[in-house]
Each structure stands twice: as structure tokens, then as C-alpha cells.
Amino acid sequence: MIKKLLDQPIQRACVIPLVFIGLMNYSQSVQAQLTNSIQNTVKNSPSQSFQQPKLPRNGAPTGRRRAGAGRSPDCPSNLTQLTALVPGDGGESVLASTVAENPTFWFYIPQLLQTTRSGEFVLQEVLDGKDVKMVYRRPLTLSGKSGIVSITLPAQPQYSLKVYKKYHWYFHIYCGDIEKTSDNFYVDGFVQRKMLTEALNRQLKLAKPKEYIVYRDKKIWYDALTNLGQQRRIDPQNATLNQDWIDLLNAFGLQDVAQEPIVEDYNLRK
């Protein structure tokens, strides 16, 4: 009887490692199959590898990637076309990643009247709970041209994103002089900076000048768009770059602005 009691814990102790090892082997097998599938997709049909990203829902913050109507009837109706070029679902934007300390943000702006060319870009660090900390706020004078614009944060350290911190950004277009009105159309969203690992850095170097392919596959959406957009700005007639740009925006569900020209780069140096 005593011998049987002593044997039971030993038998149970032997079962647990065996179960754990079995689960590990299964997980590794599934991961290997997934990796091979992704590699084959990228290799065999590059244009179709821009697939709609799976949107995070586990309590991840969401914003507005399509502008809603302003409060004043004097606001031009076409300002509802203001669009943030970020992953999302319909008019809703979702948290996306960057590895850049001072990332670039991309937007589609409709043609603007002379009275609606006052914009503003705001960046806040998300603290615990609902508290935020102002990081950057800058009024902009917009050109009024219809098309894609980029806004790059200043390179000063006080505006750099901290690794693994979440940030909330807003882009406003005011219905008149920003000093005289608070009525505006806006889009907003969230960004989180990830660590640039040695492994990722090696992959980016090997992929030059098409780093956007690596960023895309790693779901680092802000940098995929920025790397591709900068190349498209330099070489606007490049058919491959133009098609990859269209495919990437189509993957975001932004087909309606995918073929718009890139018209301005607001590099905020101050």
C-alpha cells in the first residue's frame, strides 16, 4: 500500500513533462508550416502578399481614420474626405507599429478652399488609465492641393517616441482661421514604437532599397508606408512602386485614395 502511494506522484510527475514536450513539438510544427506558407506567398505572388491585416481587438485603442462632419454649416462638405492612411476597419483606425523614433504620418487631403487651409498636428503619450501627456502640437498652413501628404515629427529628442509606449495623434483641418474658430474636421489614431532588433535590422539591410517589404511582412505599417511612399515620391513613374503602393493601400481598405498623387511633405523641423 505504501509503495503504491509513493509511486503515484512519480507517475504524475512523468506525465507533465511528456505533455509539455508534446505541446511544444506541435507548436513548432504549426509555426514552421505558417512560415513556409508566408514565404511561398511572397515568393510566388508578390502583388498579392499585401493582404488585409488582421485588426487587433483585444482592448486595443481605436480612432477615426475618416473625418466626420464638422459642427458648422460653413464647413465645406468635401472635408469629410480627409483620410488617415493607416490600417483600420471602415472609418475606424487601429493601433499600428513603427520602429522609428520620429515617424512619418500619411493622409489624404481633398482640395481646400483658401479659408480652410489651417491644419494642426497633435501627438500625445498615453499614460495609465485615460491620462495623456502632450508631446507635440504644431499648426500647419496647408497648400490646398488634393492628394497624399506626409507629416514627419521633428528629430529633436523631446519629440522621440519611447519604445513600447502608446501614442495618440490627431490631424485637424479647421473651417476658417485657427485663431478664430474651433470647428474642424479631424482624423486620429494610435501608434506604438517597437524595438529595432538586430535580426530585423539585418533583414532591412538585405532588402534595400525595398525595405517596405520587410516592414509589411512584420506588420510595421507606419514604416512600410513611409519607405514605399518616399520612394514613390522620388520616382513617381516607377510602375512597380506605384503598383505596390496601390496594393498596400488596398490591403488597408483605402482603395478610393490608392491612386492619388503624393503632393506635399510637411517635415516638422521645429
* 196: its cell numbers: 529595432
172 pLDDT higher than 60: yes
Residue 217 lies in a domain: no
Rounded to an integer, the average pLDDT of 149-161 is: 94
**How high is the pLDDT of residue 72?**
65
Q: Which residue has the cell 495623456?
A: 132
Q: How much of the chain, in percent, has pLDDT values that exceed 70?
A: 74
User: pLDDT for 190-245, tens place per residue?
Assistant: 999 999 999 999 999 999 999 999 999 999 999 999 999 999 999 999 999 999 99
Query: Which domain does 145 fall in, by range?
Result: 50-195+261-267
Q: What is the DSSP letter of 194?
A: P
Calculate mean pLDDT across residues 179-183. Answer: 82
* Opening angle at CA 71, ends 69 and 77, nearest 5: 40
Output the pLDDT for position 182: 83
Q: What are 54's strand-pairing partners?
A: none
Label residues 33-71 b or e (16+ Cβ within 10 Å = b). eeeeeeeeeeeeeeeebbeebebeeeeeebbbbbbeebe
Residue 39 has pLDDT above 80, yes or no: no
Mean pLDDT in residue range 56-77:
73
Judge whether residue 27 has pLDDT over 90.
Answer: no
- Please list the residues that pair with 206 across neighbouring strands: none
User: 194, 164 in Cβ contact below 8 A?
Assistant: yes
On whether residue 142 sits in a domain, the answer given is yes
Question: Which amino acid is residue 79, in one-letter code?
Answer: L
Q: Which pLDDT does position 220 carry in this prediction?
A: 96
Cβ contact 79:117 at 8 Å: no
Domain assignment present for 239 = no
Is 64 within a domain?
A: yes
Contact 229, 236 (CB under 8 A): no
The span from the CA of 84 to the CA of 93, in Å, is 8
- pLDDT higher than threshold 70 for residue 128: yes
Tell me, what's the pLDDT at 16? 39
CATH number where 180 lies: 2.60.40.2550
Q: How confident is the model at residue 18 (pLDDT cuts 50, 70, 90)?
A: very low
What is the model's pLDDT at position 71?
59
Q: What's the CA angle centered on 99, arms 98 and 104, to 5 degrees? A: 55
Residue type, 211: E
Q: What is the DSSP string of 20-83?
A: HHHHHHHHHHHHHHHHHHHHHHHHH-GGGG-PPPPPP-SS--EEESB----SSTTS-GGGGG-E
Q: What is the mean pLDDT of the chain?
A: 80
Q: What share of the chain is helix, strand, coil (3-state, %, to 5)?
A: 40, 25, 35
Helix (H, G, I), strand (E, B) or coil at 136: strand
Higher pLDDT among residues 31 and 255, named by residue: 255
Whether 137 maps to a domain, the answer reads yes
Q: Tell me how many domains the chain contains.
A: 1
Dist. CA 22–CA 14, nearest whole Å: 13
